[in-house]
Amino acid sequence: MGLQPYLILSAVVFCIGLFGVTTRRNMIGILLGIELMMNAVNINLVAFARYTAQVTGMVFTVFTICITVTEAALGLAIVILLFRVRRTVMADHLDLLKG
């Protein structure tokens, strides 16, 4: 198989993630969307690593997965704290930064 199907897959996954981030009101949903976008990037990295026969992309992917995990852990922790304080996880209710 060539490079193209992987890239299409990755683009589709990325778009689904972006759609989730922009449309979900629930913060956990937004976090899930972000995870999807990250995974799209991972697919890209691995695909290009295979295509160019270089190991760099693989190594990067391992790093990214680690970072994604920590990010998900941090994000969920924040969501739990927010829920304790504000009794809500709806993103459009949390507008303290409104100008």
Partner 1 sequence: MMANPGNLALAAWLLPALSFLVLAIVFPLRRLGKPAAWFSILCAAAAFVSAVMAWRIQSVSAHPVHLVWPWLSSAGKNLADVGVLVDAQSTIMLCLVSLVALLVQFYSLGYLHDEAPAALGRYYVYQSLFAFSMMGLVLAPNLLQLFICWELVGLCSYLLIGFWYQRPSAARAAVKAFWITKAGDVGLLIGIVMLYQLAGTFDLTELHSLAATNAIPLAGLSIITFCIYLGAMGKSAQFPFHVWLPDAMEGPTPVSALIHAATMVTAGVYLLVRTDWLFALTPNVLVIVAWIGAFTALLAAVLACVQDDIKRVLAYSTVSQLGYMMTAIGAGVASAGFFHLLTHGLFKALLFLGAGAVIHAVGSNDLPRMGGLARRMPQTAIVFIVGTLSLAGIPFFGGFLSKEEILGAVWAGGLTGPFALLMLVAFLTAFYMFRVVFLAFFGTPAPMAAMAHAGHAGAHVNETPHAHEPPLTMLLPLWVLALMTMAVGVYTTFNEAGGRALSGAPGGETAAPGWLTPSAVGVATAGILLAWLTYQSRTINASSLAAMFGPIRAAALRKFWIDDVFEGLYGFVLLGFSRIIGWIDRYLVDGVLNLLSDWTVQAGDELRGIQTGKPQDYVYGVGAGVLVLILLMRLVF
Instruction: Please give the residue ranges that form the binding site for partner 1 (CB under 8 A).
Output: 18, 21-23, 30, 91-92, 94-99
Q: Report in angstroms how near the CB of residue 33 gets to partner 1 at its nearest.
A: 9
Q: Report in angstroms how near the CB of residue 55 gets to partner 1 at its nearest.
A: 29
Q: Report in angstroms how near the CB of residue 77 gets to partner 1 at its nearest.
A: 17
Closest CB to partner 1 among 56 and 88?
A: 88
- Could you tell me if 45 and 61 are in contact, meaning their C-beta atoms sit under 8 angstroms apart? yes
d(CA 35, CA 61): 14
Closest CB to partner 1 among 4 and 95?
A: 95
Closest CB to partner 1 among 55 and 87?
A: 87
Question: By three-state DSSP, how is residue 81 classified?
Answer: helix
Tell the residue number behind the tokens 């976008």, with chain if given: 37
Cβ neighbours for 68, distance < 8 A, ≥ 6 positions apart: 35, 38, 39
